[in-house]
Structure 1
Amino acid sequence: MPFSSQARRLLLANRPLAVRGASVLLALTPFSLQERALLPLFRQALAVPLNDGDLNFLDARVLRIQVDDLRWRLCLSLVNGRLVMAPPDNEYAVCIRADSADFLALINRVDDPDTLFFQRRLAIEGDTELGLAVKNLLDALDYDDFPRWLAQGLALLRHAHLWVRGVRKGVNA
């Protein structure tokens, strides 16, 4: 068996352990530290739509992103034209939920939001109109507008995701 196939199988076999470890780590990380680490990343990734006014639908409204398998929630809002993180237990107008693998597939355009939604791998709860606006924003994001380091990181995640997905389907590379 080639090394790459062994590595894939090992990765797949240990995914539940990795998910549990990430879940515990996120649960132990205070909100203030998560905010300090993640908010600049979101601001950079969403700088163009933010400057173009494409995030105005979030003005004084909270979007919750919930990663079910990690038992982790993130709340984003727009206050005075500035993207902010709200505490994870904050009330929200809309919640988008999926497992981490499905969010990776979405972010890396391996699967589109409609496919994930109709396969019941992505759920949108709350304000339907706001959820549709978020879905459309995800579809419209242009990786060419992202900072180079972020685009390269997403490309690396995409390759890793496709690599693991190939093992699930029995594809050898």
Structure 2
Amino acid sequence: MANHPVLNSRNHQVSVISQQLASKVLKFAPKVSQKSLALVPDKLKLDLLGKMLNLLLKEQIEDAELDFLQGKWVEIQVADIGLTFQLSFDNQLILSCQQQADVTFTANVPELLLVAAAKEDPDTLFFQRKLLIEGDTELGLEVKNLLLSIELDSLPKAAKLAIEKLAITLQTLQQYA
């Protein structure tokens, strides 16, 4: 029964449709996100990002693990959605859109999401050229090591669950695309 021509043809059609749909979602989602983000004022984006990052890095802040960022600026470029900001540290994370960066990290949302969900290693992405690090190499390594130390468990349960579900959805789409 498994070699039945009608069933094989139908399975192939479903596979082709799934592949096309996955490719379209992966291509279309960043464009929609970019247009939506463009409507949000920079101050609001920075305030929201600052609150999220301070919450995410609460443990590292309390343990003085971010002190190496004092007086330094790290630029984050999320290329596929056109989001760029700089961050520094002075008892809490400080975000800006107008600072000269000492080091720049560039990646797309899928890669950042997989790193956040601990489903991908930043080193692997770096060697695959999906994570670009330019500028102060030593500072870049410290930031990368900080990324590796972040525990998803420090986030509120809803945020943790959302990141995990998005990462699983992304991996599923990537398998079909």
Q: Which residue of 2 aligns with 1:102?
A: 111
Q: Deviations over 1:84-138 (max 9, x none)?
A: 1112x42111111012221122222222011101111111011111100011011
Where structure 2 has 5 or more consecutive residues not aligned to the other structure, the ranges are: 1-11
Where do 1:8-87 residues align within 5 Å?
9-79=20-90, 81-87=91-97
Please name the residue that 2:156 is paired with.
147
* Alignment check: 8 A CA contact 1:104 1:158 kept: yes
Identity %: 31
C-alpha contact (below 8 Å) 1:8/1:163 kept by paired residues:
no
- Taking structure 1 as reference, are residues 3 and 77 closer, same or farther at Cα in structure 2, changes over 3 Å only? farther
Match for residue 124 of structure 1? 133
- Measure, in 2, the Cα distance between the counterparts of 1:21 and 1:7: 21
- What is the TM-score of this pair, normalised by structure 2? 0.84
User: TM-score if structure 1 supplies the norm length?
Assistant: 0.85
Residue ranges of structure 1 left out of the alignment (5+ in a row): 169-173
Aligned with residue 147 of structure 2, among 122, 138, 141: 138
Within 2, Cα distance between the matches of 1:57 and 1:136? Answer: 12
Q: Secondary structure at the match of 1:90?
A: coil
Partner of 2:4: none
CA distance in 2: counterparts of 1:107 and 1:57, whole angstroms: 21
Confirm or deny: 8 A CA contact 2:117 2:152 kept in the other structure: no
Relative distance call for 1:11 and 1:77 in structure 2 (3 A) is same
User: How many residues in Structure 1 have an aligned counterpart in Structure 2?
Assistant: 166
Name the SS of the counterpart of 2:71 in structure 1: coil
**What SS does structure 1 have at the residue aligned with 2:65?**
coil
Counterpart residue type for residue 93 of structure 2: L
Q: In the superposition, relative to structure 1, how do residues 148 and 120 fare at CA in structure 2: closer, same or farther (>3 Å)? A: same
CA distance in 2 between partners of 1:25 and 1:68 (Å)? 15
User: Shift in Å at residue 83 of structure 1?
Assistant: 1.1
- Larger radius of gyration, structure 1 or 2? 2
Instruction: Give the SS at the match of 1:109.
Output: coil
CA, structure 1 residues 66+54, in 2 after alignment: closer, same or farther (shift >3 Å)?
A: same
Query: How much has 1:74 moved relative to structure 2?
Result: 2.1
Q: Secondary structure at the match of 1:14?
A: helix
